[in-house]
Amino acid sequence: MMVVGLHRSSRLVIDAEAIRYNVRTEIERLDQQSELFAVIKANGYGHGITKVAQFTKEAGATGFCVAILDEALELREAGFEEPILVLGITEVKWAKLAADHDISLTVGDLEWLKTASQLIGDKQQLKVHLALDTGMGRIGFQSEEAFQEAASYLENTAKFNFEGVFTHFATADEKDKKYFDLQVNRFHSFMKRLVKRPKYVHVSNTATSLWHAACNGNMIRFGVGIYGMNPSGRALNPPYDLKPAMSLESEISFSKLLKKGRSVSYGATYTASEDQYIGTIPIGYADGYERRLQGFHVLIDGQFCEIVGRVCMDQLMVRMPKLYPVGTKVILAGRSGNQAISMTDIAEYAGTINYEITCGFTERLPRTYNHEYIEK
């Protein structure tokens, strides 16, 4: 485990009320028969899995979705008793462990079920959700016949609780609906094969619920919206203002006047064209603030300050309008004065998506909630 940097100024600040607001607002848009499961995989998209679980539960989430079994086990160990669905495929050898902890698993083929039935205890039941590959091309049943066979097997095998069926849309966050509609039609065709629907029928991630709510089924998997980030970047506007939950803060650790002609950082890729003030900030790509962000900016005293020279493993340098003293606050993501830097701003400059930015922040950055440090 990476050492947490408690004795330096760089830290992530998580706004618990922003998380609660985003979840409450989405729940208000759902019909009364629909539930919201909070997707808190990847350490809550970098925000802290157990804390996000608590905040979303307080806001009305009735269950959780994770990516791997270990994340579900961590929630159980933390005392959460709500339904938990592992969205990825779990190795069949862990079927009994999931049943032991009342964790629901995703299944995409009949052979997995047949093998699992030999591993689950005689007095146990494993909750399963059948995944349908309607066009994501990742996991799940591709043929209606294979799906129907698996559903029939579940209905006639006492060791399983056929709890849910779902699919995942590949283009729900795009303006062009053609491929989305194709997947919807395929899903409906699959569902016609069922004699009896399971407890949960769910197709909606954040993007689907925001822009295609008619498809929601009776449960949505609310993910990136929890954290106040737009899943489409800037392509589509959400129906309400999502409140960003994460800020990245630091302080100037060293401040100097750099003379004309002097260079900054590895490779000497930046040379001062005139005398200028340079501030060093104690954060780098080992913290998840990526090397490709050279030329981007931070906020100091409400002013944008360009990152000059290559981002180092543990430090980066910025050009400042004046000589700010050591200890001056620096905002790398968040608001300073009348200006703001969003995760989408960072992502667009880096040529990626906002999810990757928050997931990429490493354990070395402390997560703070109401100024209290916690590790998870």
Q: Does 293 fall in a domain?
A: yes
Query: pLDDT at residue 291 above 90?
Result: yes
Least confident of 228-242, 300-314, 315-329, 361-375: 361-375
Residue whose token pair is 């997707």: 39
Residues 63 and 188 in one domain: yes
Residues 97 and 222 in one domain: yes
Q: Does 271 fall in a domain?
A: yes
Residues 48 and 157 in one domain: yes
Length in residues, the chain: 376
Q: Does 351 fall in a domain?
A: no
pLDDT of residue 342: 97
Q: Which helix (H) or strand (E) holds 299?
A: strand 297-300
pLDDT of residue 1: 82
Nearest CA to 334 among 12, 106, 56, 107?
Answer: 12
| Position 370 confidence tier, pLDDT thresholds 50, 70, 90 | confident
Residues 184 and 255 in one domain: no
CATH for 269: 2.40.37.10
Residues 286 and 204 in one domain: no
Residues that are catalytic: 41, 266
Q: Which helix (H) or strand (E) holds 201?
A: strand 200-202
Residues 52 and 169 in one domain: yes
Q: Does 7 fall in a domain?
A: no
Domains contained in the chain, number: 2
Amino acid at 197: R
| Mean pLDDT for the stretch of residues 44-64 | 97
pLDDT of residue 375: 45
Question: For residue 200, which phi and psi values (nearest 5 degrees)?
Answer: -115, 125
Q: Does 277 fall in a domain?
A: yes
Nearest CA to 368 among 12, 93, 129, 9?
Answer: 12
Residues 82 and 181 in one domain: yes
- Known binding residue 2? Answer is no
Q: Does 95 fall in a domain?
A: yes
pLDDT tens for 151-187 read 999 999 999 999 999 999 999 999 999 999 999 999 9
- Known binding residue 138? Answer is yes
Residues 93 and 184 in one domain: yes
Q: Does 77 fall in a domain?
A: yes
> CA of 73: how far to CAs of 47, 82, 201, in Å?
18, 12, 24
Q: Does 368 fall in a domain?
A: no
pLDDT tens for 197-235 read 999 999 999 999 999 988 888 999 999 999 999 999 998
Exposure string (b/e) for 135-158, b if CB count within 10 Å is 16 or more? beeebbbeeeeebbebbeebeebe
Residues 107 and 208 in one domain: yes
Q: Under DSSP, is residue 254 helix (H, G, I), strand (E, B) or coil?
A: strand
Query: pLDDT at residue 74 above 80?
Result: yes
Q: What percent of the chain has pLDDT over 90?
A: 94
Please provide the distance, in angstroms rounded to a whole number, between the alpha carbons at the two ends of the chain. 12
Question: For residue 45, which phi and psi values (nearest 5 degrees)?
Answer: 50, 35
Residues 106 and 182 in one domain: yes
Partners of 236 in the beta sheet?
none
Round the average pLDDT of the chain to a whole number and report it. 95
Partners of 255 in the beta sheet?
279
CATH for 119: 3.20.20.10
Helical H segments across the chain, by residue range = 16-29, 41-45, 49-59, 69-77, 95-100, 110-117, 144-155, 178-191, 206-211, 343-350, 354-360
Give the Cα-Cα-Cα angle 183, 113, 205 (nearest 5 degrees): 30
Residues 82 and 50 in one domain: yes
Structure tokens at 320: 């400042």
Residues spanned by the domain of 176: 16-227
pTM > 0.75 = yes
Residues 87 and 165 in one domain: yes
